Structure 1
Amino acid sequence: MDDTGKILDRRQLFKDLFVFVGDKVADYASKRIDRVMPKGDYLRPPGAVEETEFLSLCTRCDECIKACPAKAIKRYHGLMDVSIGTPVIMPRENPCVLCNGLLCITACKEGALKPVDHADKVKMGIARINESRCLAWGGQDCQLCYIKCPLQGDAIFLEDGKPVINEDKCVGCGVCEYACQTINNTCAIKVAVKR
């Protein structure tokens, strides 16, 4: 074999090696994406755009946090997560009360929070009731989630004294989850995050 053949073989070896290493890195990255992309148990503020777009638009300026009259919006403090520093709502700590004017949206100048016509058009998530943990569904007199719901009668209604979630009307504010956990050791309501 002459020198030209050796050079071609070496080039092919490096090409094959590059493709092999590239495939391994891509495979590793795809398996690790769940560790990088947020899977947090939190809600985004009202009007939040789709998560990937939200993460690219949000500058972590904290203006929505400062504007929230209920102090429901907090800065996310995760570990090795692209969401670190972004605004989140954790209903069991402090839910969104759908304040008049949705001030967080007005405060966002970057477009990560888009205006909505009315508070009942917000979509942060959907509340779900675990009937086996619910006091009312267990035969006790409890309607706290219904009483506290800012969209009472629409998002949560009572059927034979038991709370029922209307998934089409629920905005996922977390008020019902917060209320439930204050009186129920095994909170019966959980807001499923809309992502």
Structure 2
Amino acid sequence: MDNTEKIVDRRQLFKDLFAFMGNKVADYASKKVDRIMPKGDYLRPPGAVEESEFLSLCTRCDECIKVCPAKAIKKYHGLMDVAVGTPVIMPRENPCVLCNGLLCIAACKEGALKPLEHVDKVKMGVARINQSRCLAWGGQDCQLCYIKCPLRGDAIYQEDGKPVINEEKCVGCGVCEYACHTINNTCAIKVISKR
């Protein structure tokens, strides 16, 4: 009986060891993904699920890129990270215009982009205004970000001729950042990704 107990203990030891090592590897992998996740100035397309889930679901099929009427969605070209080839939006180059029907979501068959009821439910990020760089906050007449915002009056409104972001209503499309960048070389608006 002593040998049987030793065999059982040995089996249990190996089971515990494999479970322990598996958990450590999974923990290390998740931390490594967090470390190597690109922190660039890009957004995910509308309806994108949480980043680690997005990276596992996205097959890099380019269907969302192909259907984007504004040509805002591009492939991410990073340097050897897990997001290479995934769809991104670079607001300063070409923002999301929240097209009618959000065609990118319909094109995604893998579930990396989930359907949304309405464009005001999109949450790619949130715009922030650096008042010290803003022409309007500096006393000049500028309303371009306000005029261009697809959710004008909700996501961005004006107080005494100065733009104010309603962070709860802002969907992070990047139109305001793009507009500001075209006339203000210091660009006062930056969309912070939800990642």
Shorter-chain TM-score: what band? Answer: 0.7 to 0.9
Q: Which runs of 5+ in 2 are unaligned?
A: 1-20
SS in 1 for 2:163: strand
Identity %: 86
**Structure 2 residue aligned with 1:75:** 75
Q: CA deviation at 1:169?
A: 0.3
CA contact (8 A) 1:78 1:84 kept: yes
Q: Aligned partners of 1:46 and 1:116: how far apart in 2? A: 9
**Structure 2 residue aligned with 1:144:** 144
Q: Aligned partners of 1:30 and 1:50: how far apart in 2? A: 14
Q: Aligned partners of 1:119 and 1:156: how far apart in 2? A: 15
> Residues 120-159 of structure 1 correspond to what in structure 2 (within 5 A)?
120-159=120-159
CA contact (8 A) 1:35 1:81 kept: no
Q: CA deviation at 1:39?
A: 1.7
TM-score (normalised: structure 1): 0.84
> CA separation of 1:28/1:155 partners in 2, compared to 1, >3 Å: closer, same or farther?
closer
Q: Aligned partners of 2:37 and 2:135: how far apart in 1? A: 36
**Structure 2 residue aligned with 1:42:** 42
**Structure 2 residue aligned with 1:107:** 107
TM-score (normalised: structure 2): 0.84
Q: CA deviation at 1:40?
A: 2.2
| Residue-pair matches, total | 173
Matched letter for residue 120 of structure 1:
D
Larger Rg over CA atoms: 1
Q: CA deviation at 1:36?
A: 2.0
Q: Which runs of 5+ in 1 are unaligned?
A: 1-21
Q: Which runs of 4+ in 1 moved over 4 A?
A: 25-35
Matched letter for residue 136 of structure 2:
A
RMSD: 2.0
